[in-house]
Amino acid sequence: MARRTSTSSAPSTPAASRPTPPVGVLERGISVLECFSEERLRLSLRELAEYTGLDKATLLRLLGVLVKARMLQRSESGQYSPGPALLHMGMLYRDSFDLGTRLQPVLHAVMQRTGETTAFYVRSGEDRVCLYREITHKEVRHHVEPGTRRHLASGGASAHILLHYTGSSTPHLKQIEEKGFVLTRAERVPEMASIALPVFEGDGSFLGALVVIGLASRHPEEAQLAGVAYAREQLALHGFLTQPPAGWTAQAHDG
């Protein structure tokens, strides 16, 4: 579904339950940046203090540095939001993978064949991050932008693939081991169905998860299975593997 911008306020947090603020200056700056999400695009000084556990005087100094570095921007109303430097860094991160020229044609071909949105996700900490996507032209659709972060714990087919192949547990272990993909219906979003498979480099290194996401009412299980079969064909044509090589073991994710 189309992404919605939210400016929801943080609930008042009792002092006893506020997070313990980080000690190092760099860690404090990172904790401020990590307060922002799709659901929290604009935050006030009070909200940032509640989310980080930092006192307002310390926060103001940090925010001044982050605004000067263009990592944050401050509106006339006094709210803070992500700044343009973060977009620049995000694009550098995406380009460092050198995957776009190979993966984008795959995503486009799968989107054209299935008529549904396709995306490629990687794991970042306890989140999954969209690096590339092809949006279907259908009026009712799943919409995701590069850089979008979702908590792995919130579910979705790609989340389970990423969890399994980075050494974490998932309730879909049996499905992955037997079929090599994860198929979910109405798990994270009631109206949506998704199917995802792992993507490996030719040398066997795990890269991420390719997912096809469609409206459940028009994307039955048969269509999902056909879509993942076609995705496998296209990935192979571009030099990717969709199964781990013999003897491959998942490495525990440490970041």
Residue 108, pLDDT > 90, answer yes
How much is the average pLDDT of 217-225? 86
Work out the end-to-end distance of the chain between its first and last CA atoms, rounded to an integer number of angstroms.
Answer: 29
Confidence category of residue 94, pLDDT binned at 50, 70, 90 = low
Q: Which comes out higher in pLDDT, residue 120 or 100?
A: 120
* Domains, the chain, with CATH or none: 15-85 (1.10.10.10), 97-237 (3.30.450.40)
pLDDT value for 4: 41
Residue 38, pLDDT > 80, answer no
With H, G, I as helix, E, B as strand and everything else as coil, classify residue 237: helix
Beta strands in the chain (DSSP E): 72-74, 80-82, 117-124, 127-134, 149-151, 182-185, 192-200, 206-215
What does the CA dihedral 179, 184, 185, 189 come to, rounded to 10 degrees?
-170
CB atoms inside a 10 Å sphere around CB 89: 11
Residue 7, pLDDT > 60, answer no
- Distance between CA atoms of 166 and 239, rounded to whole angstroms? 21
pLDDT value for 96: 64
Residue 17, pLDDT > 80, answer no
- Find out whether 126 and 151 touch, Cβ atoms under 8 Å: yes
Q: Which comes out higher in pLDDT, residue 95 or 126?
A: 126
Confidence category of residue 188, pLDDT binned at 50, 70, 90 = confident
How much is the average pLDDT of 215-224? 85
Q: Percentages helix, strand, coil for the chain, rounded to the nearest 5?
A: 40, 20, 40
121-147 residue pLDDT tens: 999 999 999 889 888 876 655 666 777
pLDDT value for 66: 96
pLDDT value for 172: 94
Lowest mean pLDDT, pick from 18-27, 32-41, 211-220: 18-27
Beta bridge partners of 200: 206, 241
Q: Which residues contact 211 (CB under 8 A, 6 or more apart)?
A: 118, 119, 120, 121, 156, 157, 158, 161, 194, 195, 196
Q: Which residue has the tokens 């996507």?
A: 133
- Distance between CA atoms of 156 and 183, rounded to whole angstroms? 9
Residue 59, pLDDT > 90, answer yes
